[in-house]
Amino acid sequence: MILLFMDYRYQKGQFEVLAKKIDDEWNLTSQEGEWVSPLSEMNWNQESQRELIKWVADRFPPFANTNEPIPKLFLKSEIKNKAIFFGGSFNPWHMGHRVSLDLCPAEPIIIVPDQNPWKEVHERQNIWSYYLDICRKVENSNFSVYPGFLLLDRVNPTVDWLLQIKLDSKWLLIGEDTFLGIEKWKEASQLLHHLKGLYVSPRGQDPKLVEEQRVKLKKQYPHLFIQLLDHHDYEDLSSTELRKK
């Protein structure tokens, strides 16, 4: 079930969740008893942010086996037997990410933001605002955003979580640079045997190398569907380079 809003109540240091469909804003009662919106630019403390992230993650299929409601801002469509996962730090989000999503010809797509455990602590503190920012960037789309891995303080190889998800058809949306190095991933062979396919977005890599990699992987994994997406105007954008500016 997908709901447009939720009602949160803060009580004794914990969030008491009363999920229901309401006509006004998604509200949360602060410790002082004043109603405020979690979507506002409020300076949430670490405990509050983790509670909010965990509440969403614990109700987010297919990562969680539940039928509990979740706001449509986060989960746009029902996940049945298939999903395309688009992972990354997305710090910051840029048009290259959005265009890659728009070029992908299949649905449903779940954006999976992840934290870098080697970043300075202060860069990983405002996880709720970071999550909401990505959700707002794709609000008027059919792309969902899963927040659960934002709570981790360790590396999170794709094979460690993807194989645990109970779906018949699992796909990845990745950039060309990742595509060229995917065989260096942890337990890459097991992962590629497990996947149904890859959608590969251009990132300014040598077309000859990309095609050689496609042919090589198809030979090693005949079942694996690989589609190279169309070129676009934002192939050179990089979150890493944007952070340096």
In a domain, 1, yes or no: no
| pLDDT score at 31 | 43
* Residue with more model confidence, 92 or 221: 221
Q: Is 20 exposed, middle or buried (0-12, 13-18, 19+ CB in 10 A)?
A: exposed
Residue 69: pLDDT above 80? no
| Domain limits for position 233 | 45-244
Distances from the Cα of 213 to the Cαs of 48, 178, 205, in angstroms? Answer: 45, 11, 12
pTM of the model: 0.85
Query: What's the mean pLDDT when you consider all of the chain?
Result: 82
Q: In terms of C-beta density within 10 A (0-12 exposed, 13-18 middle, 19 or more buried), how is residue 6 classed?
A: buried
Indicate if the pLDDT at residue 19 is higher than 50: no
Is residue 189 a part of any domain in this protein? yes
**How many Cα atoms within 13 Å fall on the side-chain side of residue 230?**
8
Mean pLDDT of the 106-128 span: 74
Q: Is residue 5 part of a domain?
A: no
CATH of the domain at 150: 3.40.50.620
**Residue 10 placed within a domain:** no
- Convert 190-228 into a string of H (helix), E (strand) and C (coil): HHHHHCCEEEEECCCCCHHHHHHHHHHHHHHCCCCEEEE
Express each pLDDT in 163-216 by its tens digit.
999 999 999 999 999 999 999 999 999 999 999 999 999 999 999 999 999 999
- Is the model's pLDDT at 105 over the cut of 80? yes
Domain assignment of residue 63, yes or no: yes
Contact 22, 110 (CB under 8 A): no
Q: Is 70 exceeded by the pLDDT of residue 101? A: yes
Residue written as token pair 């509440």:
55
pLDDT of res. 92: 83
Of 242, 231, 98, 106, residue with least CA distance to 176: 231
**Is 24 within a domain?**
no
Domain total of the chain = 1
Q: What is the DSSP letter of 32?
A: T
Q: Is position 181 within any domain?
A: yes
Q: For residues 228 and 18, which has the higher predicted lDDT (pLDDT)?
A: 228
Query: Within a domain: residue 67?
Result: yes
